[in-house]
């Protein structure tokens, strides 16, 4: 008799737990939708999985022409890359391209019909003087 009562109590408990776990389909859909909204909100919140890049001034991310003086530093541009940066800044007929001890590339180049002295720093900023 004890075994039968224990078995019945166990079966009743199992049925009660199974009933508590099941939800109507409409409730499951609502829970899924709410979870998707929560995931979207947390992905858009500051400090999410991907942080925005921060400026470190190592690369000229703006225009390639600069009004400020070129900055001296170690420069890893090859001569062809330096010429390409100057040409991309709108200059033509780049001649006399040379890298100084300060790491700044200098040359003569034409822009708007005028021959100018130009300089290229390690950031890729081109200046005319």
- What tokens does 90 get? 């709108």
H-helix or E-strand spanning residue 120: strand 114-120
- Which pLDDT value is given to residue 42? 47
Q: Let me know if residue 28 belongs to a domain.
A: yes
| pTM confidence score | 0.47
Structural domain boundaries, residue 23: 2-44
Q: Let me know if residue 106 belongs to a domain.
A: yes
Contacts of 70 (CB under 8 A, 6+ apart): 104, 119, 120, 121, 125, 127
**Residue 15 pLDDT exceeds 70:** no
Domain count, the chain: 2
Give the residue from 78, 77, 82 showing the smallest Cα distance to 109: 82
pLDDT band per the 50, 70, 90 thresholds, residue 76: confident
H-helix or E-strand spanning residue 105: strand 105-111
- Which pLDDT value is given to residue 3? 59
**Residue 128 pLDDT exceeds 70:** yes
Q: Let me know if residue 103 belongs to a domain.
A: yes
């Amino acid at each position: 008799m004890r075994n039968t009562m224990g078995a019945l109590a166990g079966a009743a408990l199992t049925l009660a737990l199974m009933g508590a776990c099941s939800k109507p389909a409409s409730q499951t859909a609502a829970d899924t939708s709410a979870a998707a909204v929560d995931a979207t909100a947390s992905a858009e919140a500051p400090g999410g999985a991907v942080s925005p890049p921060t400026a470190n001034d190592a690369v000229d991310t703006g225009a390639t022409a600069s009004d400020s003086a070129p900055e001296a530093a170690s420069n890893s541009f090859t001569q062809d890359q330096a010429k390409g940066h100057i040409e991309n800044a709108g200059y033509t007929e780049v001649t006399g391209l040379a890298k100084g001890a300060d790491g700044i590339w200098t040359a003569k180049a034409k822009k708007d019909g005028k021959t100018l002295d130009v300089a290229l720093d390690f950031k890729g900023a081109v200046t005319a003087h």
